[in-house]
Structure 1
Amino acid sequence: MKTRSIAAIALGLTAASMAALPMAANAQQAPTDYNYVGAGVGVGNVGNSDVGLSINSKVTVADSISVRPGAISDLNFSGNGETVFMLPVTYDFNPVTPNGRLLPYLGGGISVTTQGSNAVGPLVTGGVDYRITDRVVANGAVNWSLHGNSRVNGTVGLGYTF
């Protein structure tokens, strides 16, 4: 119950911050066409645990459109553990800070879990990337998997751009 409340609060804060963003098509101050792969921590509904390992990435496929494959695992591989694989397509908004380093996104896609009979379903995701340097990106996301028992989890991590 505690985890679901935390995840619901995180999803609400993400939605509120996304709603407050300027949606006008301004000239971009920093490119959104970077790619990265990274790792971090997954929190929320992560199998039998509230914390796990997350793998995240971003591949730009068009102007302001990206595919962000990722996985979150509770690292319990003894048969009752869970790993969630996510494949969302996201819209990458223009930077929201004057220095162009904070880049929000919102999207949806498919979520596949290794646990339960309803293992495949839709996914809604939202988050931000923060360009620390030209090669290092900090990222955070909230993911809502809508299959079986709906699950909300989040990730916080670092990525290496290429």
Structure 2
Amino acid sequence: MEDLATVGTTVHQARRRRPPRSVGAPRAVVVVLGGILAAWALGACTATESCVSWADFPDDASRTEQATLVVDATVVEQAGTRSMFGDEANVWEVEVDAVLTGDVDPGERIEVVSTPPTCSSETYPEGDPLDVEGEVRLYLQDAASFQIPGSGTGWALITPFDGVGEVPEVP
């Protein structure tokens, strides 16, 4: 109790020495407005997130060129989550049906991280691209090749937007 009283007295004395304010906004209003502006400037990103600006791959050829592994695969089940770019990204087990580029075998099961778009209030605001049924074409690379802190390692979609495509129908 004695310490609290001493602190209270010290604070009280310091307040008396300040000159009175005659104009301008109260300090609390300035602090609150400053906080709101700072939050607005940061947008959805926080200090623990990486906000990634993703490349756009307009066609299958450009996605294939970017990927280390391109497979036609069937998503089996969600195998868990892991941290990626400050989000909890979904990890999926997929069964490889055909290999177009890369070093895996048909029939092999691999885990793939569904790369999150980042800087959103949700991990997958438009839905997880790997939460699908049926066969899909996956454009993958080792997450370490992103060379962004927090990307981790292991197979990941090349981007949240271009990592999953349709398997072309054979005529």
Task: Give the TM-score band, short-chain normalised.
Answer: under 0.3
Q: TM-score, normalized by length of structure 1?
A: 0.27
Query: Which structure has more helix as a fraction of its residues?
Result: 2
Query: Which structure has more strand as a fraction of its residues?
Result: 1
Q: TM-score, normalized by length of structure 2?
A: 0.26
Larger Rg computed on CA atoms: 2
